[in-house]
């Protein structure tokens, strides 16, 4: 079973939660935080991390 994940918030919130989740869940892979690109929110962009969680499978990350 694989579940898609998206974290959203401020840059600091997303980075902190990403670090916490990766440390405690080796089944999860998450990208580095990146700023949103929606022109509607040009002056107030959120930050995002995308990834997935695969139950029962320890996954290798290419970078930390």
pLDDT in tens, 10-36: 999 999 999 999 999 888 999 999 999
Other residues' Cβ atoms within 10 Å of the Cβ of residue 18? 19
Taken in order 27, 16, 4, 47, the sign of the CA dihedral is negative
Give the model confidence (pLDDT) of 39-56 as tens digits.
898 888 999 999 999 888
Task: Report the C-alpha gap between 54 and 29 in whole angstroms.
Answer: 9
pLDDT of residue 32: 94
| Tokens of residue 42, six digits | 């040009």
pLDDT of residue 15: 96
Whether pLDDT at 61 is above 70:
no
CB 2 within 8 A of CB 53: yes
DSSP 3-state of 4: strand
Q: pTM, whole model, 2 decimals? A: 0.81
């Amino acid at each position: 079973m694989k579940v898609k994940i998206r974290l959203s918030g401020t840059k600091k919130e997303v980075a902190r939660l990403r670090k916490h989740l990766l440390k405690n869940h080796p089944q999860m892979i998450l990208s580095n935080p990146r700023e949103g690109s929606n022109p509607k929110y040009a002056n107030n962009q959120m930050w995002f991390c995308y990834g997935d969680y695969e139950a029962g499978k320890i996954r290798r990350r290419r970078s930390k």
